[in-house]
Homo-oligomer: A and B are copies of this chain.
């Protein structure tokens, strides 16, 4: 089964530990050891989460065999933000008022044209 990129991203984000790992990496690259400490998790448990994040393209890992520092890759998060923004008019009252105002302008314009 192939998964589309956006579905992979959402699936990777559907876990509070993985989101916390991304938040930690926002402060700079970190090794598995550095990532394990604050989560009171074993190295293998953290590595499992890192594999999910890596497959989703949300992190990249260094090539140095022993350290392999993880770095945040935010490009998929841009897609998430853009996707969610499509629904802004359903939660943003200002946006709704702007919509109403544009509608009002359009109608005034139409009435004005008819009045000519």
Binding site for B on A (CB under 8 A): 4, 6-8, 10-11, 13-16, 19, 22-23, 26, 72, 74-75, 77-78, 80-81, 83-88, 90-91
The residues of B that contact A91 with a CB separation of less than 8 Å are 74-75, 77-78
Q: How many copies does the complex hold?
A: 2
A interface, over-half SS:
helix
Q: How far is A111 from B4 in the complex, measured between Cα atoms in Å? A: 51
The answer to whether B26 touches A16, judged by C-beta atoms less than 8 angstroms apart, is no
Distance between A113 CB and nearest chain B CB, rounded to angstroms = 28
Residue on B with the closest CB to A92? B78
Q: Decide if B26 touches A87 in the complex (CB within 8 Å).
A: yes
* A22 / chain B contacts, CB cutoff of 8 Å: 87
- Knowing A15-B7, A16-B7 touch, does A84 contact B80 (C-beta < 8 A)? yes
Known interface pairs A74-B87, A77-B91, A90-B77; A10-B7 also in contact (CB < 8 Å): no
Shortest distance from the beta carbon of A80 to any chain B beta carbon, whole Å: 4
Residues of B near A14 (CB, < 8 A) are 7-8, 10-11, 14
Q: Which of B10, B23, B75, B81 contacts A10 (CB 8 A)?
A: B10
